[in-house]
Every structure is written in structure tokens, then in C-alpha cells.
């Protein structure tokens, strides 16, 4: 808005082809939004695989005749802890898995400790689905920590801030002096609002696990005991 006031005050007006500017700003914004959306869809697939692996291990352990009631409760509690800790890890956008790894390793420690009473078939099944669990968690962690390149986001942000200084004089020149001033204000402000909104949408999609934006993933739906 300040840009429009300055342009009217000092009669600054010129003509620039806005097609080039739209390519310079809108195309990168749309590209980053599509990339963020695809990562969100991939995250949903990996979360489904994560919960499926946990539930399957739970079913195998609790249907085993070789484990006692106390041992079944122990492995069930470990799987629940993995579920809750993993969801908190994603929600807090933690870049390190230092606090998560020991919790996941409890499954291996349990299998080793109960190696004499557990059947070989049950061990194989648990380790097979632990592979799926590790794969899904590693993918989720990668999605959470590796987002849109910082240089591309900075490029978009810089051009959005520069855009009014080029767009306002061009609109004033194209619309002419016969049109009401409020129309010029409306067009410039609306265009800038659209660009900022697109940038904010992309920024929200960058963090799909923090439960802050409207389109964030509902992590509670993927807990083992939902």
C-alpha cells in the first residue's frame, strides 16, 4: 500500500511486461506447493505402513502360545511406547532420532531376552515387520527434515517483496489517470494478497506434522491405540 502512495505522490509510472514477473514468482511458488503436497501424500502412506507394522506385531505377539500373559503385556507396552514416541518425535519436528532409537531397540532387546521361549517363526515375523517399521520411520524422518530447498524459498520470498515496486507503477500506467484510484489500490493489494497466501500455504505444507495448519496430518489417527 505504501508503494502505491509513493507512486501516486511522485507520479512514478512505467510499463513492464508482467508475464516475465508471473513466471519468476508464480511458477516457483506452484512448483514448491506441488512438491510439499507430494511429500504430504507420501507421509500418509508411510504413516499407514508404520501403524500396520505395529498392529501386525501386536497381533502376532498376543496370539503366540509361547509367551506368558506378562510377556505379552510387556511387548504390547513396548509397541505402544514406540507409537507414542514416534508421533511426538514428528510433531516436535526433531532433526535427530537420538531419543527415538533406544525406544525402537527395545523390541530387539525383548526378542533376545525371550529367545529361549519364543519360537523361531515368531521371531522371524517380528523382525520382518520391524523392517517395515524402520523403513517407514526413516522415510517419515527424511520427509520431516528435508523439505523445499532453502534457496528456492528465499528466492520466492525476495521476489514477493520486490513485486509491488514493479507492479504498482505498471498498473498505474496501464489503467491510466481516468480510472478511480481505489481500483488501483484494490488490484495491487489483491495481487499481493494472493502471492502471500500462496507462499503461506506452501510454508504450512512444509511442516505437515506440527498440528499447526489446517491441512496438517492428524497424527493421533495413526497411533496404535487410536
Nearest CA-CA partner of 54 in 173, 119, 136: 136
Q: What is the pLDDT of residues 28-78, one digit of tens each?
A: 888 888 888 888 899 999 999 999 999 999 998 888 888 888 988 999 999
Measured distance between the N- and C-terminal CA atoms of the chain, rounded to whole angstroms: 49
Residues composing the chain: 226
Query: In the prediction, which pLDDT does 210 show?
Result: 78
pLDDT tens, residue by residue, 147-158 = 777 787 888 888
**Cα 138–chain centre separation:** 15
Cα–Cα–Cα angle for 91, 129, 80, rounded to 5 degrees? 45
pLDDT tens-digit profile of 108-137? 898 888 878 888 888 888 889 999 999 999
Secondary structure (3-state) at 180: coil
If you compute the radius of gyration of the chain from its CA atoms, what whole number of angstroms results? Answer: 27
Whole-model pTM above 0.75?
Answer: yes
pLDDT the model gives residue 80? 93
Q: Is 94 helix (H, G, I), strand (E, B) or coil?
A: coil
**Residue 162 CA to its chain's centroid (Å):** 28
Residue 13 has pLDDT above 80, yes or no: no
Note the pLDDT of residue 65. 84
C-alpha to C-alpha distance for 112 and 163, rounded to whole angstroms: 62
Cα separations (Å) of 64 from 111, 127, 128, 133, 138?
Answer: 13, 15, 16, 20, 29
Amino acid at each position: 500500500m505504501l508503494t502505491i502512495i509513493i507512486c501516486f505522490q511522485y507520479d512514478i509510472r512505467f510499463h513492464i511486461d508482467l508475464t516475465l514477473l508471473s513466471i519468476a514468482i508464480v511458477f516457483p511458488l506452484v512448483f514448491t506447493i506441488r512438491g510439499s503436497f507430494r511429500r504430504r501424500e507420501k507421509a500418509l502412506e508411510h504413516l499407514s505402513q508404520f501403524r500396520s507394522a505395529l498392529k501386525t506385531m501386536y497381533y502376532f505377539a498376543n496370539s503366540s502360545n509361547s509367551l506368558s500373559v506378562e510377556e505379552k503385556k510387556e511387548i504390547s507396552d513396548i509397541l505402544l511406547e514406540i507409537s507414542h514416541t514416534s508421533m511426538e518425535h514428528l510433531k516436535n519436528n526433531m532433526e535427530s532420532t537420538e531419543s527415538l532409537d533406544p525406544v525402537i531397540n527395545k523390541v530387539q532387546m525383548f526378542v533376545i531376552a525371550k529367545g529361549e521361549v519364543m519360537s523361531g517363526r515368531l521371531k522371524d515375523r517380528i523382525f520382518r515387520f520391524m523392517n517395515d517399521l524402520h523403513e517407514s520411520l526413516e522415510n517419515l524422518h527424511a520427509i520431516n527434515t528435508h523439505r523445499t530447498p532453502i534457496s528456492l524459498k528465499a528466492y520466492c520470498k525476495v521476489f514477493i517483496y520486490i513485486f509491488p515496486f514493479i507492479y504498482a507503477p505498471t498498473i498505474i500506467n496501464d489503467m491510466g489517470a481516468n480510472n478511480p484510484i481505489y481500483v488501483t489500490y484494490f488490484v495491487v493489494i489483491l495481487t499481493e494478497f494472493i502471492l502471500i497466501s500462496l507462499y503461506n500455504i506452501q510454508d504450512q505444507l512444509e511442516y505437515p506434522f506440527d498440528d499447526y495448519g489446517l491441512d496438517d496430518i492428524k497424527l493421533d489417527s495413526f497411533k496404535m491405540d487410536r
